[in-house]
Amino acid sequence: MPELRRVSVNGAELNVAVAGTGPAVLLLHGFPHTWEVWTDVMADLSDQYRVIAPDLRGFGASDRAAPGQDAATLADDAAALLTALGESSAAVVGIDAGAAPAFLLALRRPGPVRRLVVMESLLGRLPGAEKFLAEGPPWWFGFHSAAPELAESVLAGNEAAYIDWFLRAGTLGDGVRPAIRDAFVRAYTGRQALSRAFSYYRALPESARQIERAVAGARLSVPTLAVGARPVGTALEDQLRPVTDHLTGHVIEDCGHIIPLHRPGALLALLRPFLAGEEVEAA
């Protein structure tokens, strides 16, 4: 089992799971998840790596009063977390809400980032996602970022049913193990927990501006793996292609959005060689 720690970074206290020894691998989760979305990945990788998986600022058991859930702030948190844990470099893996911070960290501070893996997300308004967005962004983006407190008011008391919808949709109907499902529901129950989660969506316009400014002044130079499933597919790879020097894209078939829990074996088959510096076949 991972060791849970409280680590202070940038004025926030993060809940952080740490397992194993060796080169560091930093895992950044998405919505509606906590560090526990990486349970299977951590169990496998910790035999060769020091695996670090925080609850992002404002999510899960991390500081519930910490403002600032834009991508740049979350990237700064990730950098400060590595320093606080004594790591000078890491491979960085981000999914969903964790992908943009992982990208900005690697783009702005390539020295400490050995390798980058991003999954099932979009990077602001960068070109390449037009086909995916042809019918508009996912419906919950607007719902979560609508008038302040609206989504919280609608969902209070119905959090479990709402989280279950995402867990079923993100696994193509299979769902996730009861213990992990219950952990996610606990993490997002209550108006304050919902408000913190939706603050990430309400910061998306600022995050998009941060990404646009960053790519205007630099290229992503670290080896990068873009992993897609349903529904994002190749959209993230297509966004990265024009701004990345060393990019491999792969789509995992018959896999929903929550890749680390739905198809952990397929994901690990990609992660292990990539983290070791080996070539990963594009697909």
Q: Average of pLDDT values for 243-254?
A: 98
Binned at pLDDT 50, 70 and 90, residue 177 comes out as: very high
Q: CA 208, 211, 138 angle in degrees (round to 5)?
A: 40
Contact 107, 83 (CB under 8 A): no
Domain spanning 3-135+206-275, CATH class: alpha beta
Q: What is the pLDDT of residue 75?
A: 98
State yes or no: pLDDT of 66 exceeds 80: no
| Digit-coded pLDDT (tens) for 194-210 | 999 999 999 999 999 99
Instruction: Look at residue 28 and tell me whether its pLDDT is greater than 80.
Output: yes
The residue written with tokens 């950098």 in the block is 79
Q: What is the DSSP string of 96-150?
A: GGGHHHHHHHHHH-TTTEEEEEEES---TT-TT-TTTTTT-S-HHHHHHTSSTTH
**What is the percent of the chain where pLDDT is above 70?**
98
Cα–Cα distance for residue pair 198/50, rounded to 1 Å: 31
pLDDT of residue 139 exceeding 90: yes
Its pTM stands at: 0.97
- pLDDT at position 263, please? 98
* Arithmetic mean of pLDDT, 61-86: 92
**How confident is the model at residue 282, as a pLDDT?**
73
Which helix (H) or strand (E) covers residue 47, if one does?
none
Confidence of residue 280 (pLDDT cuts 50, 70, 90): confident
The string of pLDDT tens digits covering residues 143-163 is 999 887 899 999 999 999 999
The DSSP letter of residue 2 is P
pLDDT band for 63, please (50, 70, 90 cuts): confident
**pLDDT beyond 90 at 68:** no
Contacts of 77 (CB under 8 A, 6+ apart): 9, 10, 12, 14, 54, 56, 57, 101
